[in-house]
Structure 1
């Protein structure tokens, strides 16, 4: 075997079949990667219980997050009721159920706003760091704890208050329009208030929505911050941290 050339990996003498094989062996030894020896999990009852626990925790946190984000649809429902859009509903593509028209519109804008501000990255980080609060080998979780249930009730009530804050400018403005139409109905009995009132309330409601859309996005930002805080505290309560 001749050993005159350099193979480029620091091995001299790689001429001939035997030299090439020796160079290959040396290169493979240098590039060998050693992994951590993880313990082998047995497919016993505990393993399946851990899988069920992870699924329940994910469903629980996901349901709580959806209930908080549904505050946007609640605000849209309150606006629709005042504008007269509650007569016609649209199909929610996520659930297949009927949802208010303005509620679905505001919910779509809120999701687009969340994506544009990279808020979904924070949600993915929350899923990643959830294993710090809820260990993967923790078999039982305190779903029936009164502290957890009480915190969820407070979180949902605060989400409803945020929905009320989003809808109150439009609802209040349309209420003033209703008062004006009521005065006109008493002053001019020949006027058909129902026929005149519906387009007037729709125009007034859309105008107010355009004016307060910036304020609504600020409230949506508060809702997202509250969602992240709620997810963190829920994981702490479930994990017992």
Structure 2
């Protein structure tokens, strides 16, 4: 249930609470046969400590599975800022953050690729299999695992910059050209013209790079779920 709190798709506010309970309850029922080799705990304090460890472990898995989606949102925000869409940000009830057009577009494209590749099945399998790899009450999140999480965060930032770089560089070139035109012909209203020009250019570049973008997202989403599975094994 703690995994559902942070995992992609299911943790969104737009996902009905009743559906979250159904998904979480289904995971509990599905994971029950995988729970073997545990010892009964009669001490209430020790039981509380083990429960807290399980909650932290579930939150950690959910955080790792959500990292790539956070990186995609970050890339979209970079593009929105460069294009000028950040001035028209609106509150997104699904992600519960202020976001603009490209930020939402990239996020929902990542969601589409996620389901097209059936990565949700691999993610759920990882959660259920974690009870076989790490028995109840036996996990020990050591220093190596924490370092691995930090490194994964660094890779996510790198992925986000790589995802946004082509669009940001292209729009930056447009800004330079418009600046030269503004200095050459001061009578032209560059501010009004730049908004439409950058919007058209950014949309054209997005459409031209859509297939490569989907492939890039697919590789990184698959790697993100794989990182979650590796984290589970590292905690053993």
For residue 98 of structure 1, give the secondary structure of its aligned residue in structure 2.
Answer: strand
CA contact (8 A) 2:119 2:222 kept: no
1:91 equivalent in structure 2: 91
Deviation at 1:44, TM superposition (A): 2.9
Of 200, 215, 234, which residue of structure 2 is paired with 1:203? Answer: 200
Root-mean-square deviation (CA, aligned residues, Å) is 2.2
2:59 equivalent in structure 1: 59
1:142 equivalent in structure 2: 141
2:230 equivalent in structure 1: 233
Note the residue ranges of structure 2 that are not aligned, 5 or more in a row: 1-37
For residue 91 of structure 1, give the secondary structure of its aligned residue in structure 2.
Answer: strand
Distance (whole Å) between structure 2 residues aligned to residue 88 and residue 137 of structure 1:
48
**Structure with more of its chain in helix, by fraction:** 2
CA contact (8 A) 2:119 2:225 kept: no
For residue 141 of structure 1, give the secondary structure of its aligned residue in structure 2.
Answer: coil
For residue 55 of structure 1, give the secondary structure of its aligned residue in structure 2.
Answer: helix
Moved more, 201-210 or 100-109: 100-109
Summarize the Cα distance change of 1:94–1:49 in structure 2 as closer, same or farther, 3 Å threshold: farther
Deviation at 1:40, TM superposition (A): 6.0
Q: Structure 1 residue 160 and structure 2 residue 157: aligned?
A: yes
Distance (whole Å) between structure 1 residues aligned to residue 208 and residue 122 of structure 2:
30
Distance (whole Å) between structure 2 residues aligned to residue 88 and residue 218 of structure 1:
29
1:17 equivalent in structure 2: none
Distance (whole Å) between structure 1 residues aligned to residue 189 and residue 207 of structure 2:
28
Deviation at 1:219, TM superposition (A): 1.0
Task: Give the paired residue count.
Answer: 200
Summarize the Cα distance change of 1:134–1:92 in structure 2 as closer, same or farther, 3 Å threshold: farther
Deviation at 1:107, TM superposition (A): 0.6
Deviation at 1:235, TM superposition (A): 1.3
Deviation at 1:238, TM superposition (A): 2.2
Distance (whole Å) between structure 1 residues aligned to residue 41 and residue 184 of structure 2:
81
Q: With structure 2 as the length reference, what TM-score do the two structures score? A: 0.77
CA contact (8 A) 1:159 1:223 kept: no
Distance (whole Å) between structure 1 residues aligned to residue 221 and residue 67 of structure 2:
12
For residue 189 of structure 1, give the secondary structure of its aligned residue in structure 2.
Answer: coil
CA contact (8 A) 1:162 1:219 kept: no
Distance (whole Å) between structure 2 residues aligned to residue 215 and residue 158 of structure 1:
19
Summarize the Cα distance change of 1:86–1:231 in structure 2 as closer, same or farther, 3 Å threshold: same
Deviation at 1:126, TM superposition (A): 0.7
Deviation at 1:116, TM superposition (A): 2.2
CA contact (8 A) 1:89 1:98 kept: yes
Q: Could you say which structure has the greater relative contact order, defined with CA pairs below 8 angstroms and 6 or more residues apart? A: 2
CA contact (8 A) 2:67 2:224 kept: no
CA contact (8 A) 1:68 1:156 kept: no
